[in-house]
Amino acid sequence: MIKQQVKKIMAEVFEININDIEDDASQKTISAWDSMDHLNLIVELEEKFDICLEPEEIGEMITLEIIVKTIENIKK
Amino acid sequence: MEYYIYRNFTVENLFKGIGASYSGYGDISHIPKEAKNYIWFYLPPVKMNQNELITELFDFQNKFQLLFEQIPVSKTVIAFTITTLFDIKFENGNFSLLDSINSFNNLLIETASNNSNLKIIDIRDFQKNVNQSLLDWKYYYISQSLITPKLNSSFKLWFEQKLEAIQGKRKKCLILDLDNTLWGGILGEDGIEGIKIGDTYPGLAFLNFQENILEAASNGVIIAICSKNNEEDVLEAFSNHPFQLIKEKHISAHRINWQDKVTNIQELSDELNIGLDSFVFIDDNPIERERVKQMLPMVEVPDFPEHPYLMSSFFGEMYHNYFQLYHLTKEDKNKTQQYISNSERSINQKTFASIDDYLESLKMELEVIEANKFTIPRIAQMTQKTNQFNLSTKRYTENDLYEFINQSSLVHCLSVRDKFGDNGISVASIVFINGEVAEIDSFLLSCRILGRNIENAYVDFLINLIYDKGIKKIIAKYIPSQKNRQTESFYENNGFTLEKTFETGVKLYFLNIENKRKIKEYYKFKIIS
- H-type alpha helices, B306-420: 311-322, 330-349, 355-361, 376-385, 398-406
Average pLDDT over residues B418-433: 87
How far is residue B189's CA from residue B183's CA, in Å, rounded to a whole number? Answer: 13
pLDDT of residue B184: 95
CA distance A13 to chain B (A): 12
In tens, the pLDDT along B81-99 reads 999 998 777 777 778 888 8
B143 and A CB contact within 8 Å: yes
CB contact under 8 A, A39 and B145: yes
For residue B22, is pLDDT > 80?
Answer: yes
Q: For residue B48, give the DSSP letter.
A: S
According to DSSP, residue B46 is labeled: -
In this complex, do B13 and A59 lie within 8 Å of one another by their Cβ atoms? no
Residues 41-70 in A contacting B (C-alpha not used; CB under 8 Å): 42-43, 47, 55, 58-59
Mean confidence (pLDDT) of chain B: 89
E strand intervals along B14-57: 20-22, 37-41
Q: Which of A40, A55, A59 sits opposite B152 (nearest CB)?
A: A40
Please return the burial class of B416, using the count of CB atoms within 10 Å of its CB with bins 0-12, 13-18 and 19+.
buried
HSE value, Cβ hemisphere, 13 Å, CA-based, for B131:
1
User: Using one digit for the tens of pLDDT, what is the confidence trace for A43-71?
Assistant: 999 999 999 999 999 989 999 999 999 99
Question: Which stretches of A1-76 are assigned E, i.e. beta strand?
Answer: none
Residues of B in contact with A55 (CB under 8 A): 138, 141-142
DSSP H or E stretch at residue B118: strand B118-121
- Apex B170 CA angle, B164 and B173, nearest 5: 165
Q: Is the Cβ of B156 closer than 8 Å to some Cβ of chain A?
A: no
Contacts of B142 in chain A (CB under 8 A): 39, 55, 58-59
Give the pLDDT confidence of B197-239 residue by residue, as tens digits. Answer: 998 999 999 999 999 999 999 888 999 999 999 999 999 999 9
Sequence-separated (6 or more) residues with CB below 8 Å from residue B346: B451
pLDDT digits (tens, 9 = 90+) for A19-48: 999 999 998 899 889 888 899 999 999 999
C-alpha distances in angstroms, B231 versus B178, B245, B256, B259, B284? Answer: 11, 18, 5, 12, 19
CATH architecture of the region B173-322: 3-Layer(aba) Sandwich (3.40)
Q: Are A43 and B149 in contact (CB < 8 Å)?
A: yes
3-state secondary structure of B433: strand
Residue B338 predicted with pLDDT over 80:
no
Provide the terminal-to-terminal Cα distance of chain B, rounded to the nearest Å: 34
The answer to whether the CB atoms of A36 and B139 lie below 8 A apart is no
Q: What CATH number should be reported for the domain whose range is B3-167?
A: 3.40.50.1110
Average the pLDDT over B370-381 and give the result: 90
pLDDT of res. B322: 86
> For residue range B179-203, what is the model confidence (pLDDT) as tens digits?
999 999 999 999 999 999 998 999 9
- Higher pLDDT among residues B387 and B487, named by residue: B487
Tell me, which fold does domain B335-528 have in CATH?
Aminopeptidase (3.40.630)
Spatial separation of the C-alpha atoms in residues B119 and B80, rounded to whole Å = 9
Q: Tell me which chain B residue has its CA closest to the CA of residue A41.
A: B149
The reported pLDDT for the residue numbered B217 is 93
- CA distances from residue B181 to B281, B295, B305 in whole angstroms, order as listed: 11, 22, 10
**pLDDT per position as a tens digit, B308-336:** 999 999 999 899 888 877 654 545 545 55
Report the relative pairing of strands B3-7 and B20-22 from DSSP bridges.
parallel
> Residue B362: is its pLDDT beyond 90?
no
| Opening angle at CA B21, ends B399 and B126, nearest 5 | 80
The answer to whether B426 and B446 have CB atoms below 8 angstroms apart is: yes
> What are the helix and strand counts (H, E) for chain B?
17, 18
User: pLDDT digit string (tens) for B160-172?
Assistant: 888 887 877 779 9
* pLDDT for B328: 44
Share of chain B above pLDDT 90, in %: 61
The pLDDT score that the predictor gives to residue B37 is: 93
C-alpha distances in Å from residue A33, one per residue of A11, A16, A64, A72, B19: 10, 10, 11, 22, 19
Residues of B in contact with A51 (CB under 8 A): none
Among candidates A40, A55, A58 on the partner chain, residue whose Cβ is nearest the Cβ of B13: A40
pLDDT band (50, 70, 90) for residue B43: very high
Domain at A2-75, CATH from 3.90.650.10, 1.10.1200.10, 3.40.605.10, 1.10.3210.10: 1.10.1200.10
Q: Is the pLDDT of residue B1 over 90?
A: no
Chain A CB within 8 Å of residue B150 CB: yes
Q: Are B379 and B413 in contact (CB under 8 A)?
A: yes
Residue B138 forms contact with A (CB below 8 Å)? yes
Domain limits, chain A? 2-75
DSSP letter at B447 equals G
- Residue in chain B closest to A59 (alpha carbons) equals B142
Q: What is the pLDDT of residue B351?
A: 54
Q: Which residues of B touch A59 (CB under 8 A)?
A: 142
- Which burial class, exposed, middle or buried, applies to B299 when counting CB atoms under 10 A from its CB (0-12, 13-18, 19+)? buried
Which neighbouring-strand residues pair with B509?
Answer: B476, B498
Residues of chain B with CATH 3.40.50.1000: 173-322
Greater confidence (B40 vs B160) lies with B40
